[in-house]
Structure 1
Amino acid sequence: MHVVIVGAGQAGAALAAKLRSLGATGPITMIGDEPSPPYQRPPLSKAYLMGQIGPERLWLRAPEFWADQGITLHLGDPVQSIDTTAKTVTLGGKTIAYDHLALTTGSTARRLPAAIGGDLPGVYTVRTLADVDAMRPEFIAGRRVVIVGGGYIGLEAAAVAAKLGLQVTVLELAPRILQRVAAPETSDHFRRLHSDHGVTILESTGLDRLLGDSHVTGARLSDGREIAADFVIAGVGITPNTALAQAAGIAIDNGIATDATGATSAPQVWSAGDCASFPWQGGRLRLESVGHAIDQAEVVAENILGAGKVYTAAPWFWSDQYDCKLQIAGLNTGYDRIITRPGQGGSVSFWYYQGDRLLALDAMNDARAYMVGKRLIDMGKSPDPAAVANPETDLKALLK
């Protein structure tokens, strides 16, 4: 049985490794459009951008692992088309037949529109190793960077730039940073943190256009102001890579649509990771996180081998900014109140409730709160909000 995996990121690598660990003996081929071996993305906007680690520290496995496991890598060679009837993929003039196909194609960073200067030299995104390699020379103390987008990627890049001594301005169109993903309390925490490090955050402020001819020189804001910039970073979200699947006639619904096992609408074609949407609480959900990519890909590996296992998402995320480690468990969609729990040494956690039901939590430098909260959510338990808010409450006692 030949398993072909299109996409050599976190999900693809996890799927290939899991197949072998489960005893799959047939050929496995993993195809990636980047020239680098499978690597982890989260450090790109943190330690790698800071210059604290080299590219080899990003690798998910040592290069020899793939050969030792009999996993063939085709790197820097994008798949051009999929034929689900003939059960083949075509790349670089070559056609590869499959018995099972896994689409772990990930996502692409959204760029600023060319009509407003998004294609000017000096305008960057943060998604791939090549993206960060291209922008790293710009990070010189005293230079001015404008970051468009106050989500986690934008704020992580802002933190690195501020630590390296740059003048940083963050533009956020919404009334507050992190509005799409976090409560006002979490937004307030990170706004104060960035302000303390000299970052200027402009909320309710859109970008009218970027300025410059042969290179970006600044930005005109929606209120008419103009600010100078030596370079610009766009942190305005990602788009799932669905074009190959769509062209092959595979169903798309906020990503490549799968059932609860990871199977797509095409026979023997599966999907996992950022690019895939799956059934969730009567609707569909697409998650963008390392933990999800690994967990879903490993379930798909089991199901390729016939397990018939249902994937149950247990979302968790993290973000590092300055000396603050944010850890998130659960999904906060539908919350109607926030319970604040002070921790030790300035740590804090915000617990999201819908009525009496615990949905999620954000923990800032509070690993204990995160670990207990995540276990509670995974167990379907919702502790008394008053007990959570009381700093004298023993968190572990909430698990009983």
Structure 2
Amino acid sequence: MKSGGVVIVGGGHAAAELAAHLVQNGYEERVSIISEEDRAPYHRPPLSKGVLDGAQQPEEIALRPERFYEERGIQLLLGRKVVRVDPQAREVLLDDGSSVRFEKLVIATGAAPVVPPIEGADLPGVCTLRSLEDAISLREAFGRSSRVLLVGGGYVGLEVAASARRMGLEVAVLEAGAEVMSRSVSPTIGAFMRRIHEGKGVEMNLRARVEKIEGDSRCRGVTTADGMVHEADLVVLGVGAAPRDELGVECGLACDRGIRVDEFGFTGVPGIHAIGDCSVIHESGRDEGLRLESVSGAVGQARRLAAHLTGRPDPGRDIFNFWTHQYDYKVQVAGLPGGDWATEIAGNMDEGAFAVYHTDEEGRVQVVEAVNQPSAFVRGKAAIRKGAPVPGG
């Protein structure tokens, strides 16, 4: 039986960042990362962009070289799956029959793509994107396809659409809502990016609810609720991701759209923590749980937990932020959406470089959305931190 101080289950940004900061903060016991994937943690954002269109190779997206972990004594148990957790014995059992003891267990299993319960979702030619293997398979499928249909108009789906267009494929997007990227950005930004895609030749369909994926031995298209058939020889499902909280359920942890934790990743069960996309944060002063679902959110949770496990000062929670890159447009967002806030646009939308500021009733910036204006993003984020009005200049 192997033994370890902190055992981290998961191989994404949250896991890698936690391990690195534990060691950096002087943690002296063993740190182990157990990942179902057979490679060290890597950057996920390039999967729908550079990796998919061939601009980046798999070896270029590693978060850190493997020697980083070796030199710091971080144990990587790759290609292994945790099949059972015994909280009382503080032990995890792996699918190869081995077991690992822990003093602290951190669940960082991330999220999995949602596959809607519709007929034909299991047909060959229907894909999802979450891992490097998914991206490689999808890139190969692009080479065998002529028309790709994206089910879901979130930012990952639109990144895939942009990659497909760059590779010369015909692309259509089916979005059930009134605008694309509605869970991530304001209607102003969503409409702007939709027009960019349309200008690149992408067929955009709003309020298009998928009823069935057509095909026999392979998908041939999609039927929507209005009876229209949208032909395609490749369908990519991008309707969201569900937290992988199965281990939390097995451990008897409170789970509700993710493993419930406080702002420090504590689950309420001694010795067991959760961070990243598998968790939902319940903070004092907020009525609903918060799922950050971003690299910055995962990294922030990891750093706070590392500080608490090593007795270091709490670095605090950074302002939520995320970005998406589609064609030549980089959209950066900081802040969490709230109530019926006022909106102010700075810059030139026609030239594709502008920022949208959302302010509360006292004129303080709560959210900034910047398109090809990194300086406006930085100034807006600073204004949010200070509780200041829209910055000038």
- TM-score tier, shorter chain, comes to over 0.9
Instruction: Provide the secondary structure at the position in 1 that maps to 2:235.
Output: strand
Q: After superposition, what is the alpha-carbon deviation per residue over 1:246-276, rounded to whole angstroms, capped at 9, x for unaligned? A: 1110111331111232211210111111111
Q: Alpha-carbon deviation of 1:142?
A: 7.3
Q: 2: CA distance between counterparts of 1:234 and 1:249? A: 31
1:129 corresponds to 2:135: no
Q: After superposition, what is the alpha-carbon deviation per residue over 1:167-219, rounded to whole angstroms, capped at 9, x for unaligned? A: 11100111111222222211110111001100000001111111111111111
Give the equivalent residue in structure 2 for 1:398: none
Q: Alpha-carbon deviation of 1:24?
A: 1.3
1:95 corresponds to 2:99: yes
Decide whether aligned partners of structure 1 residues 343 and 263 sit closer, same or farther in structure 2, where only a CA change above 3 A counts: same
Q: After superposition, what is the alpha-carbon deviation per residue over 1:331-376, rounded to whole angstroms, capped at 9, x for unaligned? A: 1222433211114943011112232232111100011110100111
Instruction: Provide the secondary structure at the position in 1 that maps to 2:293.
Output: coil
The letter for the 2-side match of 1:295 is G
Q: 2:111 is matched with which residue: 103, 107, 110?
A: 107
Q: 2: CA distance between counterparts of 1:253 and 1:323? A: 38
Output aligned runs, 1:166-205, within 5 Å: 166-205=169-208
Q: 1: CA distance between counterparts of 2:325 and 2:43? A: 15
Q: Alpha-carbon deviation of 1:227?
A: 1.9
1:302 corresponds to 2:304: no
Is the 2:263–2:301 Cα contact (8 Å) retained in structure 1? no
Q: 1: CA distance between counterparts of 2:282 and 2:266? A: 11
Is the 2:307–2:315 Cα contact (8 Å) retained in structure 1? no
Q: After superposition, what is the alpha-carbon deviation per residue over 1:2-42, rounded to whole angstroms, capped at 9, x for unaligned? A: 11111111000000011111111211111001112111100
Instruction: Provide the secondary structure at the position in 1 that maps to 2:242.
Output: strand
Q: Alpha-carbon deviation of 1:309?
A: 3.1
Give the equivalent residue in structure 2 for 1:55: 58
Q: 1: CA distance between counterparts of 2:317 and 2:323? A: 20
1:32 corresponds to 2:39: no
Is the 1:261–1:310 Cα contact (8 Å) retained in structure 2? no
The letter for the 1-side match of 2:376 is A
Instruction: Provide the secondary structure at the position in 1 that maps to 2:296.
Output: helix
Is the 1:261–1:308 Cα contact (8 Å) retained in structure 2? no
Q: 1: CA distance between counterparts of 2:210 and 2:204? A: 13
Q: Alpha-carbon deviation of 1:59?
A: 0.5
Instruction: Provide the secondary structure at the position in 2 that maps to 1:168.
Output: strand
Q: 2: CA distance between counterparts of 1:306 and 1:126? A: 38
Q: 1: CA distance between counterparts of 2:140 and 2:242? A: 27
Is the 2:145–2:233 Cα contact (8 Å) retained in structure 1? no
Instruction: Provide the secondary structure at the position in 1 that maps to 2:76.
Output: strand
Decide whether aligned partners of structure 1 residues 81 and 142 sit closer, same or farther in structure 2, where only a CA change above 3 A counts: closer
Give the equivalent residue in structure 2 for 1:379: 386
Unaligned runs of 5+ in 1: 395-400
Cα RMSD, aligned residues only: 1.7
Give the equivalent residue in structure 1 for 2:217: 214
Output aligned runs, 1:206-245, within 5 Å: 206-245=209-248
Instruction: Provide the secondary structure at the position in 2 that maps to 1:170.
Output: strand
Unaligned runs of 5+ in 2: none
* Count, aligned residues: 385
Instruction: Provide the secondary structure at the position in 2 that maps to 1:217.
Output: strand
* TM-score w.r.t. length of structure 2: 0.94
Q: 1: CA distance between counterparts of 2:358 and 2:79? A: 43
Q: 2: CA distance between counterparts of 1:43 and 1:145? A: 19
Q: 1:120 is matched with which residue: 103, 109, 123?
A: 123
1:275 corresponds to 2:278: yes
* TM-score w.r.t. length of structure 1: 0.92
Decide whether aligned partners of structure 1 residues 311 and 85 sit closer, same or farther in structure 2, where only a CA change above 3 A counts: farther
Q: 1: CA distance between counterparts of 2:359 and 2:148? A: 38
